[in-house]
Amino acid sequence: VQSLPRIDKIVTHTPSPSNGADFGNLRYGKQFSLPLLESILRKHLDKDKPKRCLDVGAGRGWVAQKINELVIVESMWCVEPDDKLSSTNEAWLWLEDRIENVLLPDAYFDLIVCAHTLEHVKSPRLTLCKLNRSMIKNGLLYVVVPNIEYIGTDGQIVEWFIDKHMF
């Protein structure tokens, strides 16, 4: 499912939060996905093991904060292209760029979260390959994208037809 016009074909696009099509800049999908993320992380993470974590499309830092509540974090990298949404947590490495442009170390991260972000990238396949290279063996990759089955669910319809969903 793609929104038209495709944002990657628009030369001049000024992001601004509003109640229009550009509402996607607020990235509420991440906040909706936190309960599921928390339950999955509780099942799969060892609280005492230091983690090197990457939050792709970090938004306001909701996911990174949840990870910090659940595990001992040695290193938290947050990638977010919109500087208006970044967190003030100075303990995290905050990279203000698209994931496609960020140089990631090989075999570094124990945990990578890509929540409501993959539908915004130009190539989901290339992005997933890049994330895979940056994970340690047996690392955990958590990916969640909008699910068309949920169209019509109360409070979530705004997430579907926004200008930044490329896939």
Q: pTM score, two decimals?
A: 0.76
pLDDT above 70 for 123 = yes
Quickly state the pLDDT bin for 91 (edges 50, 70, 90). Answer: confident
Report how far residue 35's alpha carbon sits from residue 43's, in angstroms, rounded to the nearest whole number. 13
Angle at 69 between CA 65 and CA 71, to 5 degrees: 110
